[in-house]
Amino acid sequence: MAPRDEYNVSSTITGADACNQVGIDSLGITNPTTIYRNMTYQQFFEHETTNNEGKVAHAEYGDTFCVDTGKFTGRSPKDKWLVKNIGSESDQNIWWGNVNQPTTPEVFKELYDKAVAHFNTLDKCYVFDGFCGASPSSQRKVRFVHEMAWPSHFVTNMFIRPENYEQLDNFTPDFTVINACSQVNEEWEKHNLNSDVAVVFNIEERKAVIFGTWYGGENKKGIFSLMNYWLPMQDPPQFPMHCSANVGKKGDSALFFGLSGTGKTTLSADPHRDLIGDDEHGWDEDGIFNFEGGCYAKTINLSEKTEPDIYRAIKKDAMLENVKLVEEGDSLVPDYFDTTKTENGRVSYPIFHIDNYHKPQIAGH
């Protein structure tokens, strides 16, 4: 059985008590009567095409869904905020400043209520329940609530997917992200924010809201920021790393550090070594481990000759973002050399799209 077929913990919950059955009623979301939870890849493709959420690209190794994220083709760091809960553990341990920008619990409550109110106008929504971190000692349960199929597809690619229904029984998330990306914060000036876009995390309440940006990377990088907070607080402390990683046949691990776009994904995709992950890892007493369940590669100037593993990973179940599509006959074909939209064209794909990935997702130091 192909890995894409092995992933099947999908359920569609309908009826007036759908929110209660999934557990999002505890968030205040009570109106949707149809909830698509942990959809299969086959279901995602069907929903994305039926809902006209993007276009189907005829990539060389398989049809791939492609989305346009609008004016934001990357993260918006000046619009990311952390709630400063005075006297709390996070208040005392976060280095507040231009990177970790503080906002107030009152602002968060207004934005949270706005996000919940939006979802309570919807008849349906998408929920993904999964995990961040392959090490059992620090793994976190994460929940995402989305209004469209493709962002749920994105987090399904990028986070660790449940292997069976038992892992979803009585699922209590350690953190929940409510992504109301179609909405904007009209009161941003009153809230002393920087624009009508808002990505706001409340560590003590274990919740976050997203407004005004469709960019998929906000979902993944937000949880990475939390892992950067949580892991050093462990006993014993663990080290979060912005790096890619692979392992040789003799168990020799290699880490590749660098800023976004400097080659971490490219260097770690080595045909002679097994891929652990391409972006976010932890270091604990037992070894190094991947935070994620997929890869998020830049597509600029991508070719099979220069980056064969990434090029071949672009097939059904992967998802292209902000990649130029050109007409060839009746098909739309990706042009990775056309950067008129952005130089930050991306593809997300589940890690099993790399043939020689390291299945344990954990390796020695």
Catalytic positions, please? 75, 221, 242, 260, 264-265, 279, 346
Structure token pair of residue 80: 């990311």
Rounded CA-CA distance 332/44 in Å is 20
Q: What stretches of 181-304 adopt beta strand conformation (E)? A: 198-202, 207-211, 239-247, 253-257, 274-277, 280-284, 287-290, 294-298
The answer to whether the beta carbons of residues 140 and 174 sit under 8 Å apart is: yes
CA angle centred on 100, ends 97 and 105, rounded to 5°: 105
Paired strand residues for 62 = 59
Left if phi > 0, otherwise alpha if psi is -120 to 50, otherwise beta: which for 23?
A: left
Residue 296 sits at the vertex; the CA angle it makes with 265 and 198, to the nearest 5 degrees, is 130
Q: Is 212:197 a contact under the CB 8 Å cutoff?
A: yes
